[in-house]
Structure 1
């Protein structure tokens, strides 16, 4: 099942640290099948407001996402982001083909 690494970042301080992070992250994703689905960009608020940058990276499964996050390559660049941005980062699995909203009622 596809697993997504989701980041909601704010207070990003553009400068050499973030540049180093951005220049290094693509190489860390490749060995784990990771690819950007969303990487910031303009938002159109339909309800409420969001003052954070949304980043979504897709991985083949949760094991690959965890392996990427814990990999030496990613751990080497992570301090650049942690020092120059705040926010939340988490993993969440996607839904299978044909998922319907009422499917979540079966587990309730």
Structure 2
């Protein structure tokens, strides 16, 4: 099942040169794990609530590949270029199956809460 790496970043200009190097090198760390950018440095259309910073969304074939990418020597070697120079939060998320039913999930959540 597809998995995602989601980062909510707070860049503060001027960006340190290491951030540019990180961006230039990240794709090479993703390729062996089937990672690809879905969102990266795009302008957001804010439709609800406050919006600070920017988002990055990377798709992986599955959670094992996402975790292996994050833990890889290649990614760990460049990670401090971003984390030492930009605040943010990053998470790995499991996607939903192709036949996902949000209504069924809602009913199950309601039942669990009322139990």
TM-score range, shorter chain: over 0.9
TM-score, normalised by the number of residues in structure 2:
0.87
Q: Give the Cα–Cα distance (whole angstroms) in 1 for the partners of residues 35 and 62 of structure 2.
A: 10
Higher Cα Rg: structure 1 or 2? 2
User: Which residue in 2 is equivalent to 1:10?
Assistant: 10
Q: Give the Cα–Cα distance (whole angstroms) in 2 for the partners of residues 65 and 50 of structure 1.
A: 26
Task: Give deviations 1:2-44, integer Å, cap 9, x for gaps.
Answer: 0000000003452311011011100000000000011121111
Check if 1:106 corresponds to 2:105: no
What stretches of structure 2 of length at least 5 have no aligned partner?
Answer: none
* 3-state SS of paired residue (2:84): helix
Number of positions where the alignment pairs a residue of Structure 1 with one of Structure 2? 108
User: Which residue in 2 is equivalent to 1:40?
Assistant: 41
TM-score, normalised by the number of residues in structure 1:
0.92
Task: Give deviations 1:64-98, integer Å, cap 9, x for gaps.
Answer: 00000000000110010011111110011111113
